[in-house]
Structure 1
Amino acid sequence: MPEIKKYRQNVAAVILSHRYPLACEFLIARRNDIKNVWQFPQGGIDEGESAQEALFRELKEEIGTDKVEIITKYPEQLKYDFPKTIAKKMYPFDGQSQTYFLVKLKQNATINLNTKHPEFDDYDFVKLKEIFDVVTYFKRPVYQKVLQYFKKEGYL
């Protein structure tokens, strides 16, 4: 009988700088708990919370601002499995099932990683072609799928 995997419900934010659409710069952040792991901000969806509510809450918790404008959302949830080295820490989940939002920072938004429970210790804005040079390996396939979709739909 095949193993049944358990996935944590999650949201992820592909964040464009406030200069979009004049410039296409993406916010990536470096985790403070796993050495040299860069990613898009993301987090779990609490019970009774919509994906959009979780998005705004997680952004406030992780990057200190929820001042974003939602541009669009990926049409379905995407799953990925945790690497074995991280899976133990995330028990009982084998991976995450994510809803991806493409958002733009508002002009007056200020990034502040010194939140109540900091998850990141650095961030940067990078161009599309630079994302895959720095993001962690196990998220690349999902990121590629999401970014290709947003590009095909004319957002990037």
Structure 2
Amino acid sequence: MSFPEPDPRYRRNVGIVVFNRQGLVWVGRRHNVAGPHNWQFPQGGVDKGEELLTAARRELQEETGIVSASFLAEAPGWITYDFPANLIDVHKRGYAGQAQRWFAFRFEGEDSEIDLEADVHPEFDAWRWVRLHEALETVVPFKRAVYTQVLEAFRGLKVEG
């Protein structure tokens, strides 16, 4: 299904929800970000000309080391959020926020596959498996509306396998 491109003021981005066989989801603690709301799903930018699903797989591998994952679903449409005023300089590039396409995967490997240093610029310094609703409780407040939409889109997915 095709959706219109997002407003160009928003950086194109993909977000990834990884379910394990028990139905728990992977969250990572943001590297060098103070808690308690510093846990999130993997996410990252889309390279020019890159297919969205390809970008999701690439970001997943870069940020978590995970390659043993099967595609489950894609949330409908773009979900946008604005950067808080105090973070606009941190995120640079002149964007007002991010427009994200979200993908769900089932992790098919063993936890030992997870490598937070798979990329030279680690995004996370710790990780854990949590219930879907717990991800909403630990993400930064300005992303909660996005996570609410994502959780609703992926609620009820058959992930055991």
TM-score by length of 1: 0.87
Q: Which moved more, 1:142-151 or 1:93-102?
A: 142-151
What residue is the counterpart of 1:136 in the other structure? 140
What residue is the counterpart of 2:24 in the other structure? 25
Contact 1:5/1:94, CA 8 A, preserved across alignment? no
Unpaired segments of 5 or more residues in structure 1? none
1:14 aligns with 2:17: yes
Superposed CA RMSD: 1.7
Change (3 A) 1:34 1:84: farther
Structure 1 residue runs of 4+, over 3 Å off? Answer: none
1:5 deviation in Å?
A: 7.1
**Given residue 57 of structure 2, which amino acid in structure 1 is its aligned partner?**
F
Unpaired segments of 5 or more residues in structure 2? 1-6
Q: Which moved more, 1:117-126 or 1:33-42?
A: 33-42
1:148 aligns with 2:124: no
**Given residue 12 of structure 2, which amino acid in structure 1 is its aligned partner?**
Q
Where 1:118 maps in the other structure, the secondary structure is coil
What residue is the counterpart of 2:58 in the other structure? 57
Q: Which moved more, 1:136-145 or 1:4-13?
A: 4-13
Counterpart Cα distance in 2 of 1:9 and 1:38? 21
**Given residue 70 of structure 2, which amino acid in structure 1 is its aligned partner?**
E
1:71 deviation in Å?
A: 0.3
Contact 2:12/2:45, CA 8 A, preserved across alignment? yes
1:31-68 deviations in Å (ceiling 9; x for gaps): 11422211100000000101011111111111112221
Question: Percent of counterpart pairs with the same letter?
Answer: 37
